[in-house]
Chains A and B, each alone.
Chain A
Amino acid sequence: MTARRVGRIVAVALLVLAMVGPLYLMLTNAFKSQHDILTEPFGWPSGGFSLKFLTNALTSPDFNVVAAYGVTLLFVVAVNALNLLVVGPASYAIARGGHRYHRAIMLVLLAGLFIPGQTLVIPVIYVLKALGLIGTIPGFLLFETTLTVPTTVFLFVAFVQTVPRELDEAARIDGASRYGTFWRVIFPLMRPVVATAMVLNSIGVWTDFVNPQFILGPQSGIYTVTTGVYAAISRLSTDYTVVYPNMLLATAPVIVFYVFMQKRIIGGLTAGAIKG
């Protein structure tokens, strides 16, 4: 019995060490000089903690972290809005439709589940080029929204099927159109599943690297947090006074957000994965 308990404690300690260690390094080394990082990476700095390196990273002319956050947030919001606008009504139509073609359309929409986004990006570049949308924000948003379609359709259709049809009929008798019925009657009931979809899509967009990197491209000058940090760090990977502060700036807001929203984020992921 005691051996069991000891084993348990050791396992938990190892787990905490493995998970906290990298965070600890990122947090402390962002305030240390190159010399201190190289000689005492785990220790306290000889000359005390300095805000200089963080300020340098914040005001760096190479990569504006604050602007990158603005851009990334904008993308997250826009993709979520487009996703609801595009997938919401379609899922309703599919869930309520009894025809064989509804099922066929659903299968087409789910096709994207198996396609690795990183390899799709190459031919997508040609499509966007033909449309004159390559290197533009609308082009990027269209593709990013398309990638959210499969999971969201899956979640939404399953949910709408649990909403009684009587509600649609009542709305129709009151003279609502199909769109009106969806937005005013069904959509307000979809809160939990919309939250799930938004969590999954938001994490997808803010951690995405390949699509902003290849569709927007470095020459567009539009950086998200991931592409900006990549550009900043891959150029100066040996200067740890650039690497650590940039990593901290890229992660800190996300982690703070995660700590406050963890129930929702984990719940959303669980619901998404179990239904998907």
Chain B
Amino acid sequence: MQVSKESTRRPAASKAAGRSARTRARRRATTADIAMMAPPLVLVAGLIIVPIAIAVYLSFTDWNGFTSPPHLIGFRNYVRLTEDSAVRHAAFLTLLITVIGTVACNVLGLGVALLLNRNNRINAFLRVLVFYPYVVGAVILGFLWSSILGTSGAVNSVVGAKHALPFLSDPTWAVVTVICVIVWSSFGVNVVLYLAGLQTVPDSVIEAAKIDGATPWQTFWRVKLPMLAPTVTVNVVLVVIGLLRVYELILALTAGGPAGETQSVVYNILTSSFDNTQLGYGAAQSVVLMVVIVTVTVVITTARRRSEQAVAA
């Protein structure tokens, strides 16, 4: 469009010169473009794509990290991980953490957001308070809770040795404790995101619902929640991706114990790879985890798109 307009305006003589200047400009723009995009491309190619390729390759070998070269052993690692009870346990635990944690973080996150939605000083303070675990970081939170819930931790000191609660020493209790601490440390982010989402619900709609005689409960289910659909998607995806990768908190809280009972998938991958020098096997587990994360993210986003569109319509 632009080109034709210009060319009709210009006298024939300078047409050629104009065109060549434009091609030169475009070519220069392309080289500049490439130069600008190259640095992150090189980084991502070298430190994400190539390593993924290496992981995929290693997953078909029995490499221990020292002997060279690695032997190709086909799908043996993948077959092995379906039979390995430690892997199965880690997968089950991670699934449990992800499902319960996602529901709990979202219910709690939305609940607390509704509780703190009105703007006043106390609520502003409480919003800041629920969010601090996010900036402290999982390793330190794990240690903090282990000094509170450990065998000689704060709570058990008060309860007394006789009635000591096995928060971290009994297998079942430890799993429950891990899930609770994970939810405690991550729901603040969901509170903040749901609060941001609630700001987008127009007051006029809520007023209208009130005038129509809707109870607060009805207003929530029929008006607020449907309008929060996109926020729900973001929260669910973020929590799921985060929980499928859970590692640091478990490392500091239970170190996978008691007896490997709280080992998550990532915990297992890093232990197989480093402590047990089974790099090929660890790589197979990471490949599976990556595939799971991508699949789950795609499935959730596609499934949620429908309820999001229902709002838009």
Secondary structure at the A interface, as helix, strand, loop or mixed, is helix
Chain B nearest Cβ from A190, distance in angstroms: 15
Task: Report the separation of the CA atoms of residues A237 and B127 in the bound assembly, to the nearest whole angstrom.
Answer: 32
- Best-buried of B28, B44, B129, B148 by chain A (most CB within 10 Å): B44
Is B91's beta carbon under 8 Å from chain A? no
A-chain residues with CB within 8 Å of residue B270 when the two chains form the complex: 118, 122, 210
Task: Report the separation of the CA atoms of residues A87 and B129 in the bound assembly, to the nearest whole angstrom.
Answer: 33
Chain A nearest Cβ from B59, distance in angstroms: 10
Is B135's beta carbon under 8 Å from chain A? yes
Task: Report the separation of the CA atoms of residues A40 and B112 in the bound assembly, to the nearest whole angstrom.
Answer: 32
Is A67's beta carbon under 8 Å from chain B? no
Is B286's beta carbon under 8 Å from chain A? yes
Is B184's beta carbon under 8 Å from chain A? yes
| Residues 72-102 of chain A, each 1 if its beta carbon lies under 8 Å from chain B, else 0 | 0000000000000111011011100100001
Q: Which residue of B lies closest to A94 (CB)?
A: B37
- Best-buried of A42, A123, A214, A251 by chain B (most CB within 10 Å): A123
6 A-B pairs with least C-beta separation: A207-B137, A123-B51, A41-B154, A119-B286, A178-B32, A89-B36
- Show the binding face of B for A, using Cβ within 8 Å: 28-29, 32-33, 36-41, 43-52, 54-55, 58, 112, 115, 122, 126-132, 134-140, 143-148, 152-155, 157-158, 184, 189, 192-193, 196, 231, 234, 238, 241, 244-245, 247-248, 251-252, 255, 266, 269-270, 273-274, 279, 282-283, 285-286, 289-290, 293-294, 297
- Show the binding face of A for B, using Cβ within 8 Å: 8, 11-12, 15-16, 18-23, 25-26, 29, 37-42, 85-87, 89-90, 92-94, 97, 102, 105, 108-109, 111-112, 114-120, 122-124, 126-127, 142-143, 145-146, 149, 153, 177-179, 182, 203, 206-210, 214, 226, 229-230, 233-234, 237-238, 240, 243-244, 247, 250-251, 254-255, 257-259, 262, 265-266, 269-270, 273-274
